[in-house]
């Protein structure tokens, strides 16, 4: 069976992107065929149909409307698919000129992948969507990453051992790797998509040429000095963007080189344990970012996320950020006015990116206009203040702003094809076309009146039909008079009427019929001109957007500090860690929502020379993990340039932050909970140095008691003697409290509790000293274990403790002595039987008793007891 021309075209285009689902444009729909249709119909839950046959097999088919395609794209990308979009590259009328059966030209205009999204509906406005590429040259690795929706472009040295932590810090969606790179597993563990690319794409020599072409420069020296691995990573990134965008490169900022030593190192496990930008559910809720984000702009939200993910280790940068927040705290009225203006500032970064890729619309131009208006207004308001931020980038585009303000209507439509984008009065030719399009009847009526006045024939009419178009109609009686006027050209004679036209009417008819298309064409031309003007000023617009984001973050953090009673930390190059009345920002926000107070605690962990470790003991549910995490988060907040939830804080700069808190297994990689714990602990002990801050919770709990105690003991000694770091170490092994007498840098701390009638009351207060008990049975009772189980646990615990007080018991003897394991079990307390009086009271409704009945009931109950 022969293949139809359309299906031949489809198969040819599909061969260009065999790994992607092909969205094949047919009129108002994107159609999918064959296996693509089967996969898409299942993923999108849409109907699967068929269209003819191919090689004697039915052709599976499904489709989605063009106007709502973005929603379907979002679903497919989230489910791990890649999509190739094939558009019609010519109008059907053009195809017909080649023959009535010619197929409209189509071609792939874009590959949609997780790291190359630009549409607002497919992206989180307050988060970056990074695409990364990693290259290794002679054992030296480098990572380049870019967000094509904002133009951000970065590169950094990243040896193989650092690749996982670096990707976790950046939060990438997709990573481009050389074939057989050997690091695919690292990327997949972080949940990012892996895209292999030929090794030639990572060649540093050709990469330099691609980068020079991208930035239209003859040399990269102005951007910095890059080694071969860095050039290879950047070059591969640019080549992949060019492949997916089919040659249309987005507007990119010059690459910014980052040094690892300027940022706090936080590995993936620590980020997960501390929930910096993602909560336990995987979303923002419950994370540190969720608790502190009061930014009002999308750009500010993205900048805040970057700072939370990568706190600085440079004292001058940290202090400059704190100065900005301090200014906004002090000048609260001016800061609030600034925030009110920022709320009206659109996302210029992403609007500029879409315009550079020819995917922009009228509202993207309006976003540039709105952002520049806000920038100019803020500069006028703040330039004469002592604001410590450099805001000079907010101005410099006054001419562009005037152009956009004059050209665009106040509220442009979503799509250019909807019309009405350009303001009336901006273009004379456009105004004329619109008048003809919108007021054609009025123009014809005016011309009819002119003809009536000229001929004196009151019954003369200008009419229209589909055969003749516009014509002048009069009765046969007056026809002779019109024939004497050379202007009137005879068209048709009927039984009662004679029809004429004029050159003027024919030209007007042509203009009216073409007015709609002409108006559209003029608007498209003006839109293209405005877009070119915006793109020509892209560097200044990016700079203004960055300045707006800086203002947003500073005033948002100030609003948080004022509202929550946070204070400015002292951050310096020492090894201090002194916190007065510190609080956990996320837990405090959750408790405040429920109307409950948070118990603040001090932390003294300063180390002039050697280790400074607090060994924390106390029961579960007393707040040990909260105290550990809150101190780690205080370090993050201070070094990202934020005030902190405390009465006072002195933080010596932390170079590396490590956290081993919580328990989880990794079944996919065959790791038990204990194995995961040991892997994470090993990473800490192998990497931590004297400028690190480490929090460890319950090391060794996943194995036998003596094994676990031995591992915890040795770990604490290693932290003290080898790593010599600042650390908080929580444990239930009370035997370890003896180490404070042996290790000079270790001090004991405990969480205070009180017992009351067999129950435990948590005070959530951290104080000096050591706990003598874990209160596990009491906590089990609070959790709702049956009374019989709690009573049995108390009996076993008492027997074990008595064995210890008597000088210890051999394991076998202990088991034999314990009633739990003996042949004759200890009697389990029987459920308490209800008394007659209790049974009688259960049936009483007090509100329904009269005084006399209540008195009689008292006498009755007395007789039953």
As annotated, the binding site includes 618-625
Question: Rounded distance, CA 679 to CA 206, Å?
Answer: 40
Residue 693 dihedral angles phi and psi, to the nearest 5° = -125, 125
Q: Which residues are annotated as a binding site for ATP?
A: 618-625
Where does 331-424 have alpha helices with state H? 332-342, 348-356, 362-382, 398-407
Report strand pairing: 265-266 vs 656-660.
Answer: parallel
97 burial (CB, 10 Å; 0-12 / 13-18 / 19+) is exposed
DSSP, collapsed to helix, strand or coil, labels residue 320 as: helix
User: Which residue is it, tokens 């009405």?
Assistant: 420
End-to-end Cα distance, the chain: 98
Contact 322, 567 (CB under 8 A): no
Identify each DSSP E strand in 55-159 by its residue range. Answer: 57-65, 83-88, 106-112, 130-137, 140-147, 152-157
The first and second tokens of residue 416, run together, are 């250019």
Nearest by Cα to 128 from 136, 138, 117, 139: 117
Contact 651, 311 (CB under 8 A): no
Question: Rounded distance, CA 808 to CA 706, Å?
Answer: 14
Question: Rounded distance, CA 12 to CA 3, Å?
Answer: 12
Neighbour count for residue 442 (Cβ, 10 Å):
11
Question: Rounded distance, CA 312 to CA 154, Å?
Answer: 16
Question: Rounded distance, CA 94 to CA 111, Å?
Answer: 26
Neighbour count for residue 631 (Cβ, 10 Å):
24
The first and second tokens of residue 28, run together, are 């108002």
CA angle 302, 303, 309 (to 5 degrees): 90
Question: Rounded distance, CA 549 to CA 304, Å?
Answer: 9
Instruction: Give, for 189, the enclosing helix (H) or strand (E).
Output: helix 184-189
């Amino acid at each position: 069976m022969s293949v139809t021309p359309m299906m031949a075209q489809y198969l040819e285009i599909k061969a260009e992107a065999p790994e992607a689902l092909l969205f094949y444009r047919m009129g108002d729909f994107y159609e999918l065929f064959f296996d693509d249709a089967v996969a898409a119909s299942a993923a999108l839950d849409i109907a699967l149909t068929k269209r003819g046959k191919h090689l004697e097999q039915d052709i599976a088919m499904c489709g989605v409307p063009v106007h709502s395609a973005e929603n379907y794209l979002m679903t497919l990308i989230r489910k791990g698919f890649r999509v190739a979009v094939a558009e019609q590259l010519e109008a059907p009328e053009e195809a017909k000129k080649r023959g009535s059966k010619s197929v409209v030209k189509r071609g792939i205009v874009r590959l949609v992948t997780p790291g190359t999204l630009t549409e607002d509906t497919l992206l989180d406005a307050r988060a970056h969507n990074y695409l990364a590429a990693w290259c290794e040259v002679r054992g030296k690795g480098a990572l380049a990453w870019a967000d094509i929706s904002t133009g951000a472009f970065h590169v950094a040295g990243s040896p193989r051992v650092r690749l996982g932590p670096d990707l976790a810090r950046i939060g990438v969606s997709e990573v481009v790797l050389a074939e057989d790179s050997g690091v695919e597993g690292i990327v997949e563990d972080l949940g990012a998509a892996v895209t292999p690319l030929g090794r030639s794409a990572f060649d540093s020599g050709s990469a330099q040429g691609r980068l020079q072409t991208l930035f239209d420069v003859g040399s990269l020296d102005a951007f910095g000095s890059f080694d071969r691995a860095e050039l290879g990573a950047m070059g591969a990134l640019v080549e992949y963007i060019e492949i997916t965008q089919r040659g249309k490169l987005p507007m990119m900022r010059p690459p910014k080189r980052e040094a690892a030593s300027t940022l706090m190192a936080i590995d993936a496990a620590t980020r997960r344990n501390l929930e910096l930008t993602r909560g336990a559910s995987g979303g923002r809720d419950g994370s540190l970012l969720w608790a502190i984000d009061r930014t009002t702009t999308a750009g500010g939200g993205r900048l805040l996320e970057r700072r939370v993910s990568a706190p600085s280790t440079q004292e001058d940068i940290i202090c400059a950020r704190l100065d900005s927040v301090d200014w906004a705290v002090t000048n609260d009225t001016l800061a609030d006015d600034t925030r009110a203006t920022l709320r009206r500032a659109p996302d210029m970064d992403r609007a500029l990116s879409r315009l550079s890729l020819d995917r922009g619309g009228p509202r993207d131009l309006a976003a540039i206009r709105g952002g520049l208006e806000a920038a100019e207004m803020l500069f006028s308001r703040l330039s004469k203040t002592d604001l410590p931020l450099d805001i000079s980038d907010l101005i410099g585009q006054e001419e562009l702003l005037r152009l956009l303000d004059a050209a665009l209507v106040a509220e442009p439509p979503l799509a250019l094809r909807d019309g009405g984008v350009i303001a009336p009065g901006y273009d004379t030719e456009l105004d004329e076309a619109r008048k003809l399009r919108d007021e054609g009847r009025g123009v014809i009526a005016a011309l009819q009146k002119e003809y009536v006045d000229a001929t004196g024939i009151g019954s003369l009419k200008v009419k229209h039909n589909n055969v003749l178009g516009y014509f002048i109609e009069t009765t046969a009686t007056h026809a002779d008079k019109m024939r004497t006027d050379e202007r009137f050209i005879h068209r048709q004679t009927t039984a009662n009427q004679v029809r004429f036209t004029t050159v003027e009417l024919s030209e007007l008819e042509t203009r009216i019929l073409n007015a709609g298309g002409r108006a559209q064409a003029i608007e498209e031309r003006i839109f293209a001109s405005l877009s070119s003007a915006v793109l020509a000023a892209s560097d200044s617009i990016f700079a203004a957007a960055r300045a707006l984001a800086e203002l947003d973050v500073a005033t948002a953090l100030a609003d948080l500090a004022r509202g929550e009673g946070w204070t400015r930390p002292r951050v310096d190059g020492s090894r201090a860690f002194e916190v007065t009345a510190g609080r956990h920002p996320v837990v405090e926000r959750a408790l405040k929502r429920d109307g409950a107070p948070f118990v603040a605690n001090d932390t003294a962990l300063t180390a002039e020379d050697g280790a400074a470790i607090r060994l924390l003991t106390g029961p579960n549910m007393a707040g040990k993990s909260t105290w550990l995490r809150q101190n780690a988060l205080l370090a993050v907040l201070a070094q990202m340039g934020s005030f902190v939830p405390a009465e006072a804080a002195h933080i010596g700069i932390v170079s590396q932050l490590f956290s081993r808190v919580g328990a989880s297994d990794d079944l996919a990689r065959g790791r038990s909970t204990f194995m995961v714990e040991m892997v994470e602990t090993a990473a800490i002990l192998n990497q931590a140095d004297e400028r690190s801050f480490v929090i460890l919770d319950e090391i060794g709990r996943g194995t036998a008691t003596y094994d676990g105690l031995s591992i915890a003991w040795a770990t604490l000694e290693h932290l003290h003697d080898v790593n010599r770091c600042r650390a908080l170490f929580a444990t239930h092994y009370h035997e370890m409290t003896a180490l404070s007498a042996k290790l000079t840098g270790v001090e004991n701390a405990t969480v205070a509790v009180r017992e009351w009638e067999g129950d435990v009351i948590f005070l959530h207060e951290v104080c000096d000293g050591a706990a003598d008990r874990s209160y596990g049975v009491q906590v089990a009772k609070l959790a709702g274990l049956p009374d019989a189980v709690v009573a049995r646990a108390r009996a076993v615990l008492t027997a074990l403790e008595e064995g210890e007080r008597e000088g210890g018991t051999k394991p076998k003897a202990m088991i034999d002595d314990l009633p739990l394991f003996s042949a004759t079990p200890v009697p389990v307390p029987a459920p308490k039987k209800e008394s007659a009086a209790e049974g009688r009271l259960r049936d009483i409704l007090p509100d329904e008793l009269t005084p006399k009945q209540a008195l009689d009931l008292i006498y009755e109950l007395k007789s039953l007891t």
